[in-house]
Structure 1
Amino acid sequence: MADGMDRDEGWVRQVLPLLRLIAKGYFRSEVRGMEKVPDGGALLVANHSGGLMAFDVPLIGVAFAEQFGTGRPLYTLAHDALFLPGIDQIFPRFGFLRAHPRNAVAALREGVATLVFPGGDWDVMRPSRDDAKIDFNGRTGYIRTALEAGAPIVPMVTIGGQETQLFLTRGEGLAKLLRLDKLLRIDATPLAFGFPFGLSLGLPPNVPLPSKMVTQVLDPIDIRAEFGTDPDIAEVDVMVRKHMQHALDDLARHRRFPVIG
């Protein structure tokens, strides 16, 4: 079993009504195709949006619970920052796991659906102009994880998260200057504009605007069935990102106005 697989269904049930209110009431969330997630272990691969106040995780979690019930766990691979002293006993109860390949493989082998954002902080801090752009920053570990666990990949894309405030720059240079890449494994410190603090480097955090967020779940991918017993990692990654980019482009074409949707 993966280290930290401490999800508590009772805690999830208690917080779900609040998360549903935020998802459906504030962000007017639409998640399409969740029924495509197969039974058993599946690696849900998504783009990441919203900066330090990213809400795509609870939106996906609400839709997953509505489709499969709270009895089927969904684990999310998360940055070490969510496991700092003082909060390290909270997030694991809601299904968060440290983002380590060992934990991901163990969870998938346990037959658990597991959500990963390969782009991580690089992706979630991207400028708003790149809202409809898939960028994993060259990270392909998610493919090796799926192969080692023998699990299918289920790509999904979300649009609208980078409209919750105006992200002006990713801030990778500042992150290096402050040595955040070495100290906290953070590759970006974005300059953003929002309410009520105006220009901000993430702290204090601005209140996310009620941007309409739409998520599309794509068809599962059985890597070995499509690429053979010894697949080329780079080739698989190109294919996954291509499928995701096409789906995100389609969502962008149907989006009429920023924030409003």
Structure 2
Amino acid sequence: MQVQHDAKWIKTLSALSKRYFTPTFLGSEYIDASRPAMYVGNHSLYGIFDAPVIIDYLFNEHQVAMVSIADHSHFYLPIWRDIVKKFGAVDGQREYVRALMQQGYSILVFPGGGREVLKHPGEQYQLIWKQRYGFLQLAQEFQYDIIPFAAFGPDDIFEFGFDARTVVQHRLFQKLLKVPQLDKLLRHGDVIPSLPKHLIPKRVPFYFQFLPPVEVGQRLGSEDLTTLREEIAQQIYQSLAQLKARSTGHSSS
């Protein structure tokens, strides 16, 4: 597995978001470039404004040798695939991730994946992790600490103008999903995006908070993994609440 980081490319594209959203980073003391870890956090609406900033912060500012686990769909389109790879992203297949962890890379993962990016109205700052435990199983296998992080701000940059559920829940669409090939292609309807009222995002401040490392035990059963995942999720939710209070305090001052 070869990772195709392009430090200048990452810095240049993330600069657009940094200038517009003026991100604040908290908890940098928990970032240790000398030791590989798995960075786990909430994915934001549409996923194109928060991820470049986080990658730039970890890779360029803290010299963390890291790769970002990306949804399979990013690698279907030739030009877009090349852009994504320049950010050090790889297709999120377990054998690829395992090969990179064997090489000692840190891993940036959003367990909510594409579904968490394509949020519906009312789902802002919700972790939509479904039944995904693969990231914890890999962290256990390689004894990586989990560094949870929370991103606040990106889910507020758009107001919804169209709710994808009006399509997904329609009886005709549900009939389509009864065809196995279509159901797989459309991921049970998860790939249908809700759309914003306006194309220009609101200029709101971004906050990113990294949290203390969470050690993963060596022999965890399914119940242990469920408990651990819930603990990590609750830490992220608590951090989001703190960042919301911080943001509200700054905006009212």
TM tier, shorter chain? 0.7 to 0.9
Partner SS, residue 246 of structure 1: helix
Task: Give a deviation string over 1:148-195, Cα, whole Å, max 9, x none.
Answer: 222111111101111121236453962965656511547242323332
Closer/same/farther in 2, CA of residues 188 and 173 from structure 1, 3 Å limit: farther
Pair 1:123-2:113 in alignment: no
Kindly provide the amino acid, as one letter, of the partner of residue 32 in structure 1.
Answer: L
Pair 1:91-2:84 in alignment: yes
Closer/same/farther in 2, CA of residues 94 and 54 from structure 1, 3 Å limit: closer
TM-score (norm 2): 0.81
Give runs of aligned pairs for residues 87-166 of structure 1, distance below 5 A: 87=79, 88-166=81-159
Task: Give a deviation string over 1:40-63, Cα, whole Å, max 9, x none.
Answer: 321110100122x53111110121
Asked if the contact 1:181–1:187 (Cα under 8 Å) also holds between the matched residues in 2, the reply is no
Q: CA deviation at 1:15?
A: 4.3
Asked if the contact 2:44–2:125 (Cα under 8 Å) also holds between the matched residues in 1, the reply is no
Pair 1:74-2:69 in alignment: no
Q: CA deviation at 1:207?
A: 3.4
TM-score (norm 1): 0.79
Give the % identical residues: 23
Closer/same/farther in 2, CA of residues 77 and 29 from structure 1, 3 Å limit: same
Asked if the contact 1:122–1:137 (Cα under 8 Å) also holds between the matched residues in 2, the reply is no
Q: CA deviation at 1:139?
A: 2.0
Task: Give a deviation string over 1:65-114, Cα, whole Å, max 9, x none.
Answer: 34323xx4321100122112422333223201001122222222211111
Kindly tell me the number of residue pairs found equivalent between the two proteins.
239
Task: Give a deviation string over 1:113-172, Cα, whole Å, max 9, x none.
Answer: 111110112212223533233331232221112112221111111011111212364539
Measure the CA separation in 1 of the matches of 2:166 and 2:137: 26
2:52 is matched with which residue? 58
Kindly provide the amino acid, as one letter, of the partner of residue 37 in structure 2.
Answer: A
Taking only aligned residues, the RMSD between alpha carbons, in angstroms, comes to 2.9
1:183 is matched with which residue? 185
1:236 is matched with which residue? 228
Asked if the contact 1:128–1:162 (Cα under 8 Å) also holds between the matched residues in 2, the reply is no
Measure the CA separation in 1 of the matches of 2:140 and 2:65: 21
1:193 is matched with which residue? 196
Partner SS, residue 54 of structure 1: coil
Pair 1:12-2:7 in alignment: yes
Measure the CA separation in 1 of the matches of 2:214 and 2:238: 15
Closer/same/farther in 2, CA of residues 219 and 184 from structure 1, 3 Å limit: same
Closer/same/farther in 2, CA of residues 160 and 260 from structure 1, 3 Å limit: farther
Measure the CA separation in 1 of the matches of 2:146 and 2:84: 24
Closer/same/farther in 2, CA of residues 253 and 260 from structure 1, 3 Å limit: closer
Measure the CA separation in 1 of the matches of 2:166 and 2:68: 25
Closer/same/farther in 2, CA of residues 165 and 235 from structure 1, 3 Å limit: same
Measure the CA separation in 2 of the matches of 1:172 and 1:98: 31
Measure the CA separation in 2 of the matches of 1:230 and 1:120: 24
Closer/same/farther in 2, CA of residues 247 and 78 from structure 1, 3 Å limit: same
Closer/same/farther in 2, CA of residues 183 and 135 from structure 1, 3 Å limit: closer
Closer/same/farther in 2, CA of residues 260 and 106 from structure 1, 3 Å limit: farther
